[in-house]
Amino acid sequence: MPMAAAAASMRSTEAAGAKPAARRLARVLLGPRRRRAALLLLALAYAAAMLMLAVGGGEGLGAAAGVVEAALRRRAPPPQPQPPGSVYRSHLVFERLLPEMRAFASLPNALVTSKYKKTGKRWKPCISKKLTEADLPSSNGFLVVEANGGLNQQHISHFWWLSNRDFLIQICDAIAVARILNATLVTPAFHLNSIWRDSSKFGDIFDEDHFIESLRKHVRVVKELSEDVFLRFDYNISAIPNMRTKAFSPPSYYLQQVLPKMLELGAVRIAPFSDRLAHSVPSDVQALRCLANYEALRFSESIRILAENMVGRMIKRSSLTGGKYVSVHLRFEEDMVAFSCCTYDGDSKESIAMENARERSWRGKFHRPGRVINPEANRRNGRCPLSPLEVGMMLRGMGFDNTTSLYVASGKIYNAEKYMNPLRQLFPLLQTKHTLATPEELAQFKGHSSRLAALDYTVCLHSEVFVMTQGSNFPHFLMGHRRYMYGGHAKTIKPDKRKLLQLFDNPISGMCSVISSTFNSHEYMWPEFVHISKITLS
């Protein structure tokens, strides 16, 4: 009996000790800090069981391996579905909606039936009553600036077409700085961009004589340095001291830091000249920027003649809508798609092509430490360029039918044969600079992206409706210029891409209706900006 009691006591003690041990094992396996270790142990156990089964066979080992494998499957987290708008599925929506969009072709065209309700007072041009004309005092010296970028960087801070920001802004800022310094401005020299390789000079793009004459009563502008000053620097522009001014410098900086050097040497150079002047300046200086941008800067005669002919041809080919047409700034060139880090085809061919494009243009920028490329998040956040077919479906949803004349302003579209065909199906009256102008007319502009951009710009400027698809300086400048031309009122469509792409991510959606707070089924009212603020399905 004593022995039996002792044995029972030992069993009780072992059982009592086994419970804490089991709890400790559970904590090891299930605790958040031990999950990785547990998974590793399970994986090793699975591998050992498979090895033993392969070497010795046995049903018991096979069963054990099955248990381990099942445990691993249970611990693997299920794949999480992507939030709406994460994946490019617009082509699936297009395939499904195309028959319905064709059926809706009999509805009134928004370009013909829309009524533009102007609200508020008519805007006055920014140069009104701000500039005074008087005899200019003696010049304090010459100002030499070097602009860099493409056409749309040369004009003002809101104009971008093919390369990085601020080519055109620099011209207007240079005029303003020359006014502040009471200096004589030498017409800006354009730096050859490493990507776009446009060797155009100022006079190739702009009417240089008109520029000088328009500013004559406000700022002195000359085509080149005077002989005596040029001789002083051995006929070498680079020998002129370069004043490396800070970005967004106020007028006081130029008066305190740059002017003394100019008075001493007779000339100063500022290169680069990107964003060298503050946005906030006295009203007379801002008015001078405005005068330079909207009045003094006009395209050269060769560009103007062809551009005006293209506008006339576009109006003639828009007879079904009373000569009215819609222009679209389509940013879907290869460089834009690559820079956005967004995916469209989603296959290895596209991935390799985009990686090569990024490496050619930006050389390792996208592989720097800490840089994370997330195409799904980019698309959800509205950072991906709208594809041509997305633009087409948006416009059809807004009531522009297949009788609408559409002008597309763009560079060379990425994978154009694939991506432009759907847009042409939706808008068969689509035109580009290559369809409005003959090869002979365009030959003089071949290899000059800035001059080609000037043609696109002019046709867009005179359109009834302008559509921007990607934030950049080109559409922003156009919006400003069109407002300037039309007293503050212009028809501009600026889509909310976050909401729009959620709709295009739904391959089972029905015929879409894009509804803004200013739209209803009977009358379209155009504010200065039409935001796609609400999207519904019908």
Both tokens assigned to 52: 């033993």
Q: Domain 142-298, what fold?
A: Rossmann fold (3.40.50)
Single pTM value for the model:
0.77
C-alpha–C-alpha distance, residues 384 and 375, integer Å? 8
Please tell me the predicted confidence (pLDDT) of residue 209: 97
Q: What DSSP letter does each residue of 484-507 carry, written as one string?
A: HHTTT---EEE--HHHHHHHHT-T
Please tell me the predicted confidence (pLDDT) of residue 358: 92
Please tell me the predicted confidence (pLDDT) of residue 72: 47
Q: How far is CA 347 from CA 141, 177, 350, 352, 438, in A?
A: 59, 51, 6, 9, 37
Q: What DSSP letter does each residue of 126-183 carry, written as one string?
A: TTTTT----PPPPP--EEEEEEESSGGGBS-TT--SSSSS-TTHHHHHHHHHHHHHT-
Please tell me the predicted confidence (pLDDT) of residue 235: 92
Q: Which of 533, 532, 534, 516 is nearest to 524 (CA)?
A: 516
Containing 513, the helix (H) or strand (E) segment is strand 512-515
pLDDT means per 10 residues, the chain with 538 residues, are: 48 50 53 58 64 52 51 55 82 84 71 65 67 85 79 37 53 95 91 59 92 95 94 93 93 97 96 88 91 93 98 97 96 92 90 91 86 90 93 90 95 93 96 98 91 94 93 81 85 88 71 40 38 39
Strands 512-515 and 534-537: antiparallel
C-alpha–C-alpha distance, residues 88 and 109, integer Å? 29
Please tell me the predicted confidence (pLDDT) of residue 84: 76
Please tell me the predicted confidence (pLDDT) of residue 431: 98
Please tell me the predicted confidence (pLDDT) of residue 168: 73
- Give me the architecture of the 90-117+302-332+385-537 domain, per CATH: 3-Layer(aba) Sandwich (3.40)
Please tell me the predicted confidence (pLDDT) of residue 524: 37
Strands 142-148 and 267-270: parallel
Amino acid sitting at position 435: T
C-alpha–C-alpha distance, residues 529 and 416, integer Å? 29
